[in-house]
Amino acid sequence: MLNQTVYGVDFGSDAAKIYSLRKDRITSEKNMIAVKDGEQVIAVGNQAYEMLEKNPPEIDVSTPVEDGMISDADRGGFVLDKLLMRAEAGRGINPILYFSAPLNMSRIERKAFCEIGLIAGFRENRIFLVDQPLCDALSLGIPIQRTKGSMIVNVGAQHTVISVIAGGQVILSERVLTGGKRIDEAICDTVRRKTNVLIGTRTAGRVKHAIADCYESDDARRMFGMDTLSGVPGEVVVTADLVREAMLSELEKAAAGTKRILTRIPPQIAGYIRAEGIYLTGGTARVAHIADYFKEYCGAAINLSKAYEYETINGIREIAGHKALQKMAYTTGNEK
C-alpha cells in the first residue's frame, strides 16, 4: 500500500495541505499565487504569501479558493501542481488524488475540483472527492456508522462549517461566513477605527495568534502600520481587549449558527450531541478559551480538537490508506 502513488489534498482558502501515501507525510503551504501583468506566475505557496501586502500594482497576489470553493481553476491547478512537486518530486504511474470538498456542491463546483486535478496532471477517473465533515469525523475518532448524533464545528479561514452526523451519514451541514481571515479583517478595521493606524491582515494575523483571548487579558503588542491622518508610517499598541472585541464580532456568528442548528435538529439527536459534546476544530480553535466561549454561548460541552487545522487532511490520510474507507469517496461526475 505504501508504494502506491496516492495523494490527499485539503485545498483551503488559507493553506493547501498535501498528504503523500508513499512518504506518509503531510506538507502545508499557503494557498496563494503571485501573477505579474495577469499572465506571468512569479511565485506560489509560501513564497507568494511573503509578497502579500508588499506587492507592486502589476503583481496580483491571491488565492484560487474563496469561501471553500474554487474561484480560479487555472490558477488553482497551477498551485496544486507546484505544491505536489514540492511535496514529492514526481506523480508516479496512474496517481490517485483525494480532495476534501464542501458538502452540497453544485455540479459546476464539483467540476472545478476535477479541473484543477486535470491541470495538475491527474486523470479524471483517478480524481475523487470526500465530504469534508466525514474527513473531520474520521480524524476526530467519531464512529461514523454507529453515532446517533455528533456535531462538528470547523472554524476555517473564510467560513465555518457546522455539521451533524447520525446513522452513518451527514444529515445536515451549513456554512457560516466567518473564520480566521474575516477575524483578521475585523482586527484591521477595529485598529483603524480606534487608533487611526492602518495595519495589514498579515500583521493582524500575527497579533491574533499572539494575544487573542475570548476572555479578559492585559496582554498587548506594539505594531507598525500607516497613520491614516498623516499618511506616514505609525506605531500602535494593540491590546488583547481590542483584539477580543474585533474577534468576538465574528466568532459570535459561528457560535450563534451552532446554537441555532442545535435547536433545529430533532431533540433526540440533539440529546446525543449534548451528551457527547460538540467537536470544535479548525485553525481558529487555537484561540485561548474558545472552548469556554462556545460552551457558555451554546449551553453544551465542547470537545476541543488537538489537530486544529490539520483535522481534515488527517481524515483524508485515513481514507487514502484504508481500502474499507474509500467507499466514502466519489468521482466528480457522480450525482450526490
Q: 203 and 97, same structural domain?
A: no
Give the DSSP H or E segment for 181. helix 180-195
> Domain count of the chain?
3
Q: 84 and 61, same structural domain?
A: yes
Spell out the alpha helix ranges (H) of 196-239: 201-211
Residue 58 covered by a domain = yes
Q: 31 and 18, same structural domain?
A: yes
Last residue of a domain, one of 246, 271, 293: 246
* Structural domain harbouring 323: 6-134+311-331
Residue 48 covered by a domain = yes
Residue 294 covered by a domain = yes
pLDDT value for 63: 95
pLDDT value for 132: 96
- Give the C-alpha separation, 305 to 159, whole Å: 17
Q: 280 and 154, same structural domain?
A: yes
Among residues 240, 252, 248, 98, the alpha carbon closest in space to that of 186 is found at: 248
Q: 44 and 29, same structural domain?
A: yes
Residue 336 covered by a domain = no
Last residue of a domain, one of 215, 246, 277: 246
Q: 291 and 155, same structural domain?
A: yes
pLDDT value for 89: 64
Residue 111 covered by a domain = yes
Residue 269 covered by a domain = yes
Q: Give the count of beta carbons closer than 10 Å to the beta carbon of residue 167.
A: 12
Last residue of a domain, one of 246, 267, 285: 246
Are 212 and 288 contacting, i.e. CB atoms less than 8 angstroms apart? yes
Q: Which pTM value belongs to this model?
A: 0.93
**CATH code of residue 200:** 3.90.640.10
Owner of C-alpha cell 458538502: 103
Pairing label, strands 33-36, 40-44? antiparallel
All 3 cell numbers of residue 113? 475540483
- Give the C-alpha separation, 122 to 119, whole Å: 7
Over its C-alpha atoms, the chain yields an Rg (Å, rounded) of 21
- Give the C-alpha separation, 297 to 291, whole Å: 10
All 3 cell numbers of residue 247? 474577534
Owner of C-alpha cell 494575544: 211
Q: Give the count of beta carbons closer than 10 Å to the beta carbon of residue 38.
A: 7
Q: 113 and 163, same structural domain?
A: no
Residue 266 covered by a domain = yes
Q: 285 and 228, same structural domain?
A: no
Determine the length of the chain: 336
Q: What is the DSSP string of 259-280?
A: HHHHHHS-HHHHHHHHHH-EEE
Residue 149 covered by a domain = yes
- Give the C-alpha separation, 196 to 239, whole Å: 15
Q: 20 and 51, same structural domain?
A: yes
- Residue 303: beta bridge partners? 279
**CATH code of residue 123:** 3.30.420.40
- Give the C-alpha separation, 11 to 31, whole Å: 7
- Residue 173: beta bridge partners? 163
Are 17 and 27 contacting, i.e. CB atoms less than 8 angstroms apart? yes
Q: 22 and 109, same structural domain?
A: yes
Q: 147 and 66, same structural domain?
A: no
Reading the chain (336 residues) residue by residue, the pLDDT tens digits are 455 689 999 999 999 999 999 899 999 999 999 999 988 999 999 999 999 999 999 999 999 998 778 999 999 999 999 999 988 867 777 899 999 999 888 889 889 999 999 999 999 999 999 999 999 999 999 999 999 999 999 999 999 999 999 999 999 999 999 999 999 999 999 999 999 999 999 999 999 999 999 999 999 999 999 999 998 998 999 999 999 999 999 999 999 999 999 999 999 999 999 999 999 999 999 999 999 999 999 999 999 999 999 999 999 999 999 999 999 999 876 555
Q: 279 and 210, same structural domain?
A: no
Are 152 and 257 contacting, i.e. CB atoms less than 8 angstroms apart? no
Amino acid (one-letter) located at 15: A
- Give the C-alpha separation, 16 to 25, whole Å: 14
